[in-house]
Amino acid sequence: MSEAELPALADRLAVSVDLAVFSVRAHDLQVLLARRGAAPFRGRWALPGGFVRPPETLDDAARRRLPEVTDVPGAYLEQLYTFGAPRRDPRGRVISVAYFALLAGAAPPRGTEDAEVRWHSVNNLPELAFDHAEILRYALRRLRYKLEYTAVGFELLPNEFTLTELQTAYEIVLGEKLDKRNFRRRILEADILAETPRYRESEGQGRPARLYRYKRNAVMEVKARRLFPWGVKEASDERQRHDSPE
Amino acid sequence: MSEAELPALADRLAVSVDLAVFSVRAHDLQVLLARRGAAPFRGRWALPGGFVRPPETLDDAARRRLPEVTDVPGAYLEQLYTFGAPRRDPRGRVISVAYFALLAGAAPPRGTEDAEVRWHSVNNLPELAFDHAEILRYALRRLRYKLEYTAVGFELLPNEFTLTELQTAYEIVLGEKLDKRNFRRRILEADILAETPRYRESEGQGRPARLYRYKRNAVMEVKARRLFPWGVKEASDERQRHDSPE
DNA sequence: CGACTTCGTGTAGCGTTGACACCAACCGGA
DNA sequence: TCCGGTTGGTGTCAACGCTACACGAAGTCG
């Protein structure tokens, strides 16, 4: 930031936000995609997003997109990474600040005037416009990491939920079965859930399950872990940059 | 990304990269700052950085700054977060993609024509221009996290180093003493260091220490950790967003 | 050669993790 | 109402991993 003057208009860049909106629906991890109604990539599916307007925050720009594609009370939103390859958009230089969002599974997609919006299974994705496949791969990786060392899983569920529903959501996202007793021990010891007096009695047989809700104002914090008590592997084939967070 | 057309020139944004360049020098964690030679914030210290030019990658824009402020062979560089509050720059709307870099302690600062560049202790910082204090706080947090669960510590040292030097670097960054035997066990089990046949004999008394170097092509990878075997604390006073990476 | 400094090494106790099986509550149909 | 079917909810024990901790080795200096 040493230049005295802002760059000339011609040297300014278009800045967009793109959202990877995840939800667990139909026992599957899904992401919200919008079909492009105009060139370039007309007809292709893409992450919902749009250009940042001069007076708004990046977070605001991202949050503003949400009601355009789905009905949702509160959603978890987090900035992910900024993608800025010079030719990622054929129209010209556009840098994209990627966000990911977590929604309770109930949210139905909401089409816009000329843009069809639909949930897609992350296991069965169409070809995506721009570099959105890369963005989505990255978002997915981050989502899994995040779920492993933080407890944002609630954001994928309605306000009240059973422990089994929570565990199932984790299993779906992580793609791996978890031990019931250990899962419950951990999540309860973490002291971020509050029992409600209510039970889920609905749908069919079986013993009714206690409903829990997420304790507001409980914030996950990674307990200071001494150095890296983990592992190291040889350089994997995975040829990706973006190894930030983890 | 549903609009068909790019925004008008007037609605484009200036995009800058700002770098938090860290190094361990004089038994202290330091960051490279440049004194601003022009308004706004003339005379204030700021993170080195500059505007992104249309044909270059964000990473390139960041890497291009490095030789302007210091001599360095290879430096570790990683994108951090993108800051986009509308009024963070009094000249107009500028969004800043923040990077952090790690340098071997030897690197001397290198002034530019009208910009003095100096190392500053992170424990004794001057007032910074723009929102750079916030960016730096964030970068520092990420650096500490990163060091705890990844083994980038080498990047703060010259090619060959002793285990004690490495441990000292970790202690300085983390601000906490570490157990010698445990540190060595961990770092060696990780199998990312290679012994050299050489010893550090210089400076003064004591038994000479074996020199090690960082194994190229050894990539840290967080061993898949089951769920969050960690802790949770009440919402801390720390009123910050940006809880991404961890 | 003795005092001083830094290097380099092993173990035992403890806490945490992961694996594992059964009774409880409710439903529906016979 | 009883019985089979389904889902909910609970405790222990063994293996492992982390932490804490002290002393002989190798060299320097006077």
Tens-place pLDDT, residues A151-204:
889 999 999 999 999 999 999 999 989 999 999 998 998 888 999 999 987 676
In angstroms, how far is C20 C1' from A226 CA?
31
- Dump strand ranges (E) for A85-157: 94-103, 117-121
Q: For residues A62 and A69, give the distance between their C-alpha atoms in angstroms, rounded to a whole number.
A: 12
Mean pLDDT of A206-231: 66
pLDDT class for B220, splitting at 50, 70, 90? Answer: low
All residues of chain B having their beta carbon less than 8 Å from the beta carbon of residue A37 are: 2, 4
* pLDDT for position B149: 75
pLDDT in tens, B85-119: 999 999 999 999 999 999 998 778 887 666 799 99
Mean pLDDT of B50-78: 91
Find where tokens 């490495």 sit. Answer: B166
pLDDT at position B3 over 90 = no
Q: Which of A19, A71, A68 is nearest to A46 (CA)?
A: A19
* pLDDT for position A243: 37
Mean pLDDT of B35-42: 91
Pick A57's closest partner by Cβ from B84, B94, B97: B84
All residues of chain B having their beta carbon less than 8 Å from the beta carbon of residue A56 are: 86
Q: Letter for the amino acid at B42?
A: R
Question: Hey, of B41, B155, B226, B227, which one would you mutate to test binding to chain A, going by the most A CBs within 10 A of its CB?
Answer: B227
Pick B56's closest partner by Cβ from A3, A86, A92: A86
Q: Of how many residues is chain A composed?
A: 246
Question: Between A and B, how many residue pairs show a Cβ–Cβ distance under 8 A?
Answer: 258
Q: Which of B241, B10, B9 is nearest to B131 (CA)?
A: B241
Q: Letter for the amino acid at A187?
A: I
User: How many CB atoms lie under 10 A from the CB of residue B227?
Assistant: 19
Mean pLDDT of B72-86: 91
The structure tokens listed for B127 are 């007032």
D strand bases under 7 Å from protein CB: 4-12, 17-22, 25-29
pLDDT at position A210 over 80 = yes
Would you list the DSSP string of chain B?
A: ---SSPPPGGG-BEEEEEEEEEEEETTEEEEEEEE--SSSSTT-EE--EEEPPTTS-HHHHHHHHHHHHB--S--EEEEEEEE--TTSSTTS-EEEEEEEEEE-TTPPB---SS--EEEEETTS---BSTTHHHHHHHHHHHHHHHHHHS-GGGGGS-SEE-HHHHHHHHHHHHTS---HHHHHHHHHHTT-EEEEEEEE--SSSS--EEEEEE-TTEEE------S--S-EEEPPS---------
Burial (0-12, 13-18, 19+ Cβ within 10 Å), B145: middle
pLDDT class for B71, splitting at 50, 70, 90? Answer: confident
The listed range with the strongest mean pLDDT (A205-209, A225-229, B73-77) is: A205-209
Q: Letter for the amino acid at B96?
A: S
**Angle between helical axes of A180-189 and A163-174 (0-180°, round to 10):** 110
Q: For residues A17 and A69, give the distance between their C-alpha atoms in angstroms, rounded to a whole number.
A: 14
Distance from CA of B208 to the nearest CA of A (A): 26
In angstroms, how far is C5 C1' from A228 CA?
30
CA angle A51, A55, A59 (to 5 degrees): 60
pLDDT class for A4, splitting at 50, 70, 90? Answer: low
Find where tokens 């997109």 sit. Answer: A65
Q: What is the DSSP letter of A79?
A: E
- Of A29-38, A90-99, A215-224, give the lowest mean pLDDT range: A215-224
All residues of chain B having their beta carbon less than 8 Å from the beta carbon of residue A242 are: 79
More confident site: A203 or A215: A215
Q: What is the DSSP letter of A11?
A: G
Q: For residues A173 and A144, give the distance between their C-alpha atoms in angstroms, rounded to a whole number.
A: 7
Mean pLDDT of B15-42: 94
pLDDT at position B232 over 60 = no
All residues of chain B having their beta carbon less than 8 Å from the beta carbon of residue A219 are: 232-236
User: How many CB atoms lie under 10 A from the CB of residue B14?
Assistant: 23
Q: What is the DSSP letter of A7?
A: P
User: Which residue approaches D7 most closely, CA to C1'?
Assistant: A206
Q: Residue A41 — left, alpha, or beta (φ > 0 → left; ψ -120 to 50 → alpha)? A: left
Pick A221's closest partner by Cβ from B37, B226, B231: B231
* pLDDT for position A244: 36
In angstroms, how far is C22 C1' from A102 CA?
37
CB contact under 8 A, A12 and B15: yes
* CA atoms A201, A71, A125, A138: torsion sign: negative
- Of A53-67, A116-130, B1-15, B112-126, give the lowest mean pLDDT range: B1-15
Average pLDDT over all residues of chain B = 85
In the Cβ-directed half-sphere of B34, how many Cα atoms lie within 13 Å? 26
Q: For residues B171 and B150, give the distance between their C-alpha atoms in angstroms, rounded to a whole number.
A: 15
Domains of chain A: 12-137 (3.90.79.10), 151-214 (1.10.10.10)
CB contact under 8 A, B233 and A246: no
In angstroms, how far is D27 C1' from B195 CA?
20
Strand D proximal to A223 Cβ, under 7 A: no
Alpha carbon of residue A15 to chain centroid: 20
* pLDDT for position A113: 61
Strand C proximal to B181 Cβ, under 7 A: yes
